[in-house]
Structure 1
Amino acid sequence: MKRLDSKTAVVTGGGSGIGLATAQRFVDEGAFVFLYGRRQDALDRAAAQLGPNAVAVQGSVTDLDGLDRLYAAVQAQRGSLDIVFANAGTGALVPLGEITPEHYANTFDTNVKGLIFTVQKALPLMNAGGSIILTGSSTGVMGTPRFSVYSASKAAIRNLARSWALDLAGTGIRVNVLSPGPTRTDLAAEVVGASDMEALGAMTPLGRLGDPAETASAAAFLASCDSSFMTGAEVFVDGGLAQV
């Protein structure tokens, strides 16, 4: 029996990278997945790749009406929800001295505010035993030049999981953080640069970049009953970068 048979999942930022790889793993494990993202073309390609057990809903996590549409679709088609992978995020390299209010707002609105309401609006549909997975980052526990605002947003996510684990006590719903390190995605290459990403990968004890499918494997573990005694925890998939 597949680990996620008959489960219903929402994956934000699901059109590419870690989000798409995780949606694929969830479908492979037997789940029905709702993809949520900003770019309709990427969502259409992702839904075609995933097949009949996936539905794409276009919108941004910063748009609360869009999140309402997402969860209305979940309720109409599936009735309830078992897994939320709050994965949508953004970032840019901006050193201290050049940080603008716009850069701060864009980063925190997506990575923190968007994540908060992605989770909060899902709660009325969540089944007991459900799993909420928040995408953090190895940068949340490291000093990273030119990346302080992004790193601070990911550190905030870590504390949200700790606090929400207490808020959700007694509901049977678990919440954990999944924190990738340098991973080969189009977004990472765009933000950091392909050559700098390769250099980051070489700095890990494993000496390479991660593949999105490797993070997806950890997400499937956190989504399943295999992690049933875990809540408020952080799981790093970073090649050891932030661990040694």
Structure 2
Amino acid sequence: MACSRASSVSKLLGRPIGAFCRVSGKTAVVTGGGTGIGLAAAVRLAAEGGHVFITGRRKTVLDAAVETIGPASATAVVGDISDLADLDRLYDTVRARGHGLDVLFANAGTASFATLEQVTEEHYEETFGVNVRGTSFTVQKALPLLNDGASVILNSSVRADDGVAAFGTYAASKAAIRSFARTWANELKGRGIRVNAISPGTIDTPGLDAVAEGDTPLAKSQFAAGVPLGRIGRPDGVAEVVAFLASGQSGFILGANLYVDGGENHI
């Protein structure tokens, strides 16, 4: 999607995105790019001139996402980040394009909730297998493709900080991702690769609908009451921060964790 198509994307998102071309000519990977924050980020990066590879488990969802992003600017690769063979296929596809990799948004994750006494081995293994192991190998296997000066963005969460009941395993997995960002920023700084994390708060995504468990409008109003700005966030608002971290505008930001939460966790 060329930057000249930004106006059509503005209509799609229902708000202006500005006349930016901050990632023009760059190659990006967005894991979990079929819905929610991942899709919004892929739309934004493509609108600003990038070619975006998206991955996820469901082919029909990815195919629809490619149509939304623009087929000329998006490539879908079906896969699960917890499966190393799937990650290899993803990066083989990126390698075949011949431009290396400039932006990696390690966004894919899973969420299920249980109190300490309810946690099962399956719950623990799935959460850490996708969120921690999957994210770790998503970045490790990208290293040979990452161009010097690339930007790596990890999706953490405000839940890593706030101790909400039943979020223990999920929160711990997101705290691990925040720790990865600090360490990897130090390890990759010699190549000019910037690693940063974002911590979204309560965002209006399909995942939030699943948490609502039925009475979605009531649940969302209750969630909004806990946000100082008085509303839950939108995926495109998070995508704006991803695009900023992907661009040279954030060139002096390294190892940081940017909260995108309407003040939810710190006011």
Q: Could you say which TM-score interval applies, normalised by the shorter chain?
A: over 0.9
Kindly report which structure 2 residues correspond to 1:1-244, keeping only aligned pairs within 5 A, or say none. Answer: 2-51=21-70, 52-193=72-213, 194=216, 195-244=218-267
Corresponding letter in the other structure for 1:168? L
Instruction: Give 1:191 shift.
Output: 2.8
TM-score after normalising by structure 2 = 0.89
> What's the offset of the Cα at 1:243?
1.2
Per-residue Cα deviation, 1:147-187 (whole angstroms, up to 9, x for no partner): 11000100111111111111112110000001100000011
Say which SS state the counterpart of residue 142 (structure 2) adopts.
Answer: helix
How far apart, CA to CA, are the structure 2 residues paired with 1:97 and 1:221? 41
| 1:72 partner letter | D
Residue aligned with 2:144, SS: helix
Is the 2:27–2:99 contact (alpha carbons within 8 Å) kept by the matching residues of 1?
no
Q: CA RMSD in A?
A: 1.0
Q: Is the Cα contact below 8 Å between 2:105 and 2:155 reproduced in 1?
A: yes
In 1, the alpha carbon distance for the partners of 2:65 and 2:244 equals 22
In 2, the alpha carbon distance for the partners of 1:78 and 1:221 equals 25
Deviations 1:47-83 (CA, angstroms, capped at 9, x unpaired): 1111110000000001100000000000101330000
Contact 1:35 1:54 in 2 (8 A): yes
- When residues 78 and 197 of structure 1 are mapped into structure 2, their CA distance, relative to the original with a 3 A threshold, is farther
Q: State the distance in 2 between where 1:27 and 1:79 align.
A: 16
Unaligned runs of 5+ in 1: none
Q: Where do 4+ consecutive residues of structure 1 move more than 2 Å?
A: 191-198
- TM-score of the two chains, using structure 1 as the length reference: 0.98
- What SS class does the counterpart of residue 35 from structure 1 fall into? strand
C-alpha distance in structure 2 between counterparts of 1:177 and 1:199, whole Å = 27
**Partners of 2:212 and 2:176 in 1: CA distance:** 21
Work out the CA distance in 2 between the residues paired with 1:148 and 1:34. Answer: 32
Which AA in structure 1 matches 2:205? T
**CA positional deviation for 1:192:** 4.2
Cα distance change, pair 5–144 in 1 and its aligned pair in 2 (3 A): same
**One-letter amino acid matched to 1:26:** L
What is the identity, as a one-letter code, of the residue corresponding to 1:226? Q
Q: Percent identity?
A: 50
* Equivalent-residue separation in structure 2 for 1:175 and 1:127 (angstroms): 13
Give structure 2 stretches of 5+ with no counterpart. 1-19
Q: Is the 8 A contact 1:91 1:191 kept in 2?
A: no
Give the number of equivalent residue pairs: 244
